[in-house]
Amino acid sequence: MVTRATSAGPAATAGSPVVVAVVQFAAGTDPSANLAALREHVRTAAERGARVIVAPEYSMFAVARLDERVVAIAEPLTGPFVTGLGEIAREFGVHLVAGIVEQVAPGAKQIRNTLVALGPDAKLVAKYRKVHLYDAFGYLESDVVEAGAIETPATFTVDDVTFGMQTCFDLRFPEGCRRVAAAGAQVLVLPAQWIPGPAKVDQWTTLLRARAIENTVYVAAADQCAPRGAGASMIIDPTGVVLTELGDEPGVLTAGIDLDQLAAVRRTNPSLALRRFAITERAPE
């Protein structure tokens, strides 16, 4: 597998923008192999100056349709895959975000679709359990996955830049991303396994740009590539401009998060400050 790296700017130095990277790769059914592949992509991103690296949803274990295999492979947050992610983060001195298959409890018949963020000290700094399950397009993620509880938005901060997390199908629910922005996030990281299909890449791109524009945030979206994902990973600025993107091949993208630009955008378009409506939790039917 050939990794292609592109960049929207030079590697970070003192006083320069924080560089964020997104990793696009084809995760499979061997967690150890997925971890090894991810490590090489993280190496590439770190060599390009990335401080925060975002890998796809289900980086730990990916199949076309969830079934008993994903339940059997699930691990707790203290399991070997998350431990391995922490070791990679420590090795390269980065914050690493990735999607895992979290065990609910020993013997449980469901799993959690969870994002974890590991710091350069290998410790867990944030976690997010997917709230909106992919019960759409003839698919029922809820058959196998337990929805995450509505909690305070999961964020973490690197060099004064605050990152917030959402996952894949969450993208279709603007109020979830708005909660993250309202909680102080300046960058929305969005790992995904965006299932391929008619118009799916167009929808993905449109929704990502909309979330950036309406919340005046950067968006770093890391999708799986073919065959299980649609690809099109990208990094978007707070005006909705796509800074860098991939097709459906494996690769690494990097771009700088410039807080001065973000502040200027928010002065020009203070949509967060002007909003008139709050977001309230809706009980599932």
| CA distance linking residue 110 with residue 121, whole number of Å | 31
Using alpha carbons, select from 54, 28, 27 the residue that is nearest to residue 221. 54
The question of whether 68 is a catalytic residue gets the answer no
Helix, strand, coil fractions of the chain, as percent rounded to 5: 30, 25, 45
Residue 26 contacts residue 250 (beta carbons within 8 Å): yes
The question of whether 168 is a catalytic residue gets the answer yes
Choosing from 130, 177, 225, 245, which is the catalytic residue?
Answer: 130
Residue 144 contacts residue 110 (beta carbons within 8 Å): yes
| CA distance linking residue 9 with residue 19, whole number of Å | 8
Which residues are CB-contacts of 134 (< 8 A; sequence separation ≥ 6)? 141, 168, 169, 195
Please work out, in degrees rounded to the nearest 5, the angle formed at the alpha carbon of residue 3 by the alpha carbons of 254 and 89: 60
**How many residues make up the chain in this entry?**
285
> How many CA atoms within 13 Å lie on the side-chain side of 137?
12
- 3-state SS of 213-248 is HHHCCEEEEEECCCCCCCCCCEEECCCCCEEEECCC
Handedness of CA 258, 183, 273, 166 (dihedral sign): positive
| CA distance linking residue 276 with residue 157, whole number of Å | 27
| CA distance linking residue 249 with residue 26, whole number of Å | 9
The question of whether 130 is a catalytic residue gets the answer yes
| CA distance linking residue 101 with residue 74, whole number of Å | 5
Choosing from 75, 127, 168, 245, which is the catalytic residue?
Answer: 168
Residues that are catalytic: 57, 130, 168
